[in-house]
Amino acid sequence: MCYSIPGKVVEIKNNIVSIEYFDSVKRARNDFEKLELGDYVYAQGGFVISKITAKEALKILEVWKELFKELDKQDLQLSQTGSTLTSKANHIRHKTIGNSCCVHGILEISNFCRNNCHYCGIRKDNKSIERYRMSDEKILASVDRAANEFGFKALVLQSGEDPDLINDVFADLIATIRNRFPVLIFLSIGEFPLKLYQKFYKAGARGVLLRFETSNPNIYAKSRPGFKLETRLKLISELKRIGYALITGSILGLPDASVEDHLNDIKCALSLNPEMYSFGPLIPAPTTPFENTKSPNPEMIIEHLARTRMMKEDSNIVVTTALETLDPKARKKALLSGANSLMLNVTPEKYKKLYSIYPKKYGYDKDLKIQIDETINLLHELGRAPTDLSL
Ligand code: SAH
């Protein structure tokens, strides 16, 4: 979002460029721009997003110069305190990846779904919700607002598994978004044939958010009737092989999941070598078979994030909306326990409430502008800077 700064290209090796932000250098993939040494670019999620003029860049960097040093100092100070698991994880985060923190936007484009996942409020058999599918025009207008009005540099397009939206024609929409707006496109659309995903990649999508939901095949079968964990894991690996940046992880607290299962979830995620880890609690959704399951304790989720940081020191870990829903204070705690990334919901008000995978999703009743201000204040308080997370 507006929380991002341009950097200067200081090295180019094929499609990998090194970008300098004050005194740190990050690497990013450049699949979209013609670049020369000395150019100024915005990068996000390890990808160059757009080029900007030196004049414009220097103006922005001048404003950031002092603040940048202050943020660094603040992060260093906060990461040196405490000896608990979570504060150790925060220390490791600071030591390995510094104070970069990215904020992605999430746009929920359809709540139609052909599946009946036992945890999910937009499952096919839930006849009590109003369904919507955003038109291309509405999606483009929302991307425009997120990218140009609010400055988001990476957007996750999320939906139920909706073949009436996710088909060959969707590739044209991806290409239009990529041509018109300086954003990195992530897809969170469920399981579709590899060929279709290849088409979306060619059209300009570069990331996928696809969780394996649980690493326990029995719990998986009970949570997603008719589907196999093996198939999901295979698809996730294949998407990574195509070149997609991967965000993956699981739901913690599914019925019968043990402490060991949760540890195995970290191991399973590690084996997929994702660009970002996403672990969040189950939030029981009304009218679903899991509606009476109790949500896990937010502290357990935060410790899970800390453990992930310990097991993969240089990872990127997102604070999930589900965790923020469980405890609004969890965002700050998670960022001080190893996490280094946030997602804000940029779905238009009208649809936001209808994408009810679980009720009262964090931010469902809050204006985006207010959420952005709160986020920036928190990131300043914690000493986090908007440099790219790097490859
Ligand atoms: N159709 C896409 C996107 C689903 S929504 C897909 O299948 O990947 C994105 C994620 O929300 C899901 O992958 C799941 O991990 C999570 N989710 C769904 N219902 C939830 C609930 N009740 N509590 C917590 N997380 C949930």
Residue closest to 349 by CA, chosen among 104, 142, 131, 133: 142
Ligand 1 in reach of 282 Cβ (< 6 A): yes
- Give dist(CA 54, CA 69) in Å, integer: 22
CA 124 to ligand 1 center in whole angstroms? 13
Residue closest to 354 by CA, chosen among 180, 186, 108, 145: 108
Position 391 pLDDT exceeds 80: no
Q: What's residue 267's pLDDT?
A: 98
Ligand 1 in reach of 322 Cβ (< 6 A): yes
Position 45 pLDDT exceeds 70: yes
CA 117 to ligand 1 center in whole angstroms? 9
Report whether 130 contacts 121 (CB < 8 A).
no
Ligand 1 in reach of 158 Cβ (< 6 A): yes
Position 61 pLDDT exceeds 60: yes
CA angle 237, 243, 245 (to 5 degrees): 80
Q: Per-residue pLDDT averaged across 13-39, rounded?
A: 93
- Mean per-residue pLDDT over the chain, rounded: 95
Phi, psi of 246 (to 5 degrees): -110, 130
Which residues contact residue 84 at a Cβ distance below 8 angstroms, ignoring those fewer than 6 apart? none
Position 46 pLDDT exceeds 70: yes
pLDDT digits (tens, 9 = 90+) for 1-13: 566 889 999 999 9
DSSP assignment of 208-257 equals: EE---B-S-HHHHHHHSTT--HHHHHHHHHHHHHHT-EEEE-BEET-TT-
Tokens of 274: 């994702």
Q: What's residue 388's pLDDT?
A: 72
Ligand 1 in reach of 109 Cβ (< 6 A): no
Q: What is the reported pTM?
A: 0.97
Beta bridge partners of 24: 21
Strand 16-21 vs strand 7-13: parallel, antiparallel, or unpaired?
Answer: antiparallel
Looking at ligand 1, which atom is closest to the CA of residue 283? 23
Mutate to test the pocket of ligand 1, among 106, 211, 293, 361 (most ligand atoms within 8 A of CB): 211
Ligand 1 in reach of 187 Cβ (< 6 A): no
pLDDT digits (tens, 9 = 90+) for 63-115: 888 888 899 999 999 999 888 999 999 999 999 999 989 899 999 999 999 99
Ligand 1 in reach of 357 Cβ (< 6 A): yes
Tokens of 111: 């709540």
Mutate to test the pocket of ligand 1, among 119, 189, 279 (most ligand atoms within 8 A of CB): 119
Looking at ligand 1, which atom is closest to the CA of residue 209? 8
Render the burial of 332-351: b for 16+ CB within 10 Å, e for the rest: ebbbbbbbbbbbbbbbbeeb
Q: CB neighbours (10 Å) of residue 55?
A: 8
Looking at ligand 1, which atom is closest to the CA of residue 320? 25
Which residues contact residue 374 at a Cβ distance below 8 angstroms, ignoring those fewer than 6 apart? none
Would you report the helix, strand and coil content of the chain in percent, each value rounded to 5? 40, 20, 40
pLDDT digits (tens, 9 = 90+) for 282-336: 999 999 999 999 999 999 999 999 999 999 999 999 999 999 999 989 999 999 9
Tokens of 362: 């964090």
